[in-house]
Amino acid sequence: MFFWHVRKHLSAFIQGELSSDRASRISEHLLTCKRCRAEHEEIQWGIRLARRLPTLSAPPELTNAFEDALRSRGPARVARSRRVMALRWPVAIPVALVVTAAVIFFWYQRIRPLVSIRSAGPVMSKLETLALDLHLQEKKGALDFDFRTDDPDALGDWVAEKSGLELPLATRQPADEVREYKLQGAKILKNRDGDIVSVFYQVDRVPVTLIAASVRSLRKEETPSEGLWQKKIYHRSVSGTETNLLSWTRDKQSYVLASDLPGAGQQACFVCHTNPRRREIIRNAKLHP
């Protein structure tokens, strides 16, 4: 089970960035939770230190360079002429077309599916191969974790500190979730171009492996396309096994989720996603060829 700790929100709480409702809940929690109170005190100290960050004076040569640039480019003069006024109708028609296109676009945004699950290409990428390998090792119990914990907050901090990667793991499941999500731990693989982190879960005792890497550490052809109009997720059912692989890219990080969960394994996505609407979209996402 997950514990509802507020540690992730303490900076926002101290700096007045939370709604009053949320801030009140956090205040109440702090009265009863020694662990979060200790962390609150630590973050307050960190904020006090950070306030000492001074602004430095720009070197004088920058002002000279700026003056040169100002002389060569100067302010842009906007000249109005009668010919501009005469262009009203030829301007109005393209504007009307753009407005119509925008209306159609926003209408489409409302009705289109936000997530599409497509079949992955014929050849497994290196990231998929790695995810499958780690997943199979973990199923055999042959894997040594670098960090063993059941606390997603602590794991997120550890991953960020060791690799610079960000993992938005859910700290608690919605009340109506019937499956048990149990975090086991993580492992970091050192790579010349950038670290790869692997996180291990059990969902109702079924192993789930999530790996993440920065897109900068991958070749372009190895990076799943992010999708412009809808999020693209690539599915592969590994023959000879019950394992499904789901790959996607978001916010400059690529992920592979390996699991033996039924269907396309998309329930594994709930190790991160807790928003009810998003979960509904993921549950109902159809597999396209």
Q: Residues in the site for another protein, rule: CB under 8 A?
A: 7-12, 15, 17, 39, 42-43, 45-59, 61-63, 65-66, 69-70, 73-78, 156-157, 160-161, 164, 166, 168, 251
Nearest to another protein of 73, 140 (CB atom)? 73
CB 268 within 8 Å of CB 228: no
In angstroms, what is the minimal distance from the CB of 70 to another protein?
A: 6
In the complex, the smallest distance separating the C-beta of residue 251 from another protein, rounded to whole angstroms, is: 7
Nearer to another protein, 3 or 45 (CB): 45
Q: Which is nearer to another protein, 74 or 122 (CB)?
A: 74
Q: How many residues does the chain have?
A: 289
- In terms of CB distance, is 221 or 251 closer to another protein? 251
What is the rounded distance in angstroms from the CA atom of residue 1 to the CA atom of residue 181? Answer: 7
Strand order in the sheet with 253-259: 147-148, 181-189, 196-203, 206-214, 253-259, 244-250, 231-237, 115-119, 287-288
* Least distance in angstroms from the C-beta of 90 to another protein: 21
Q: Whole-number minimum distance, CB 62 to another protein, in Å?
A: 6
Nearest approach in angstroms of CB 273 to another protein is 13
Going by C-beta distance under 8 Å and a sequence separation of 6 or more, which residues neighbour residue 89? none
Q: Using the CB atoms, write b or e for 114-139: b if 16+ within 10 Å.
A: ebbbeebeeebbebbebbbebbbebb
Which residue, chain included where needed, has tokens 């969902």? Answer: 203
Which C-beta is closer to another protein: that of 39 or that of 138?
A: 39
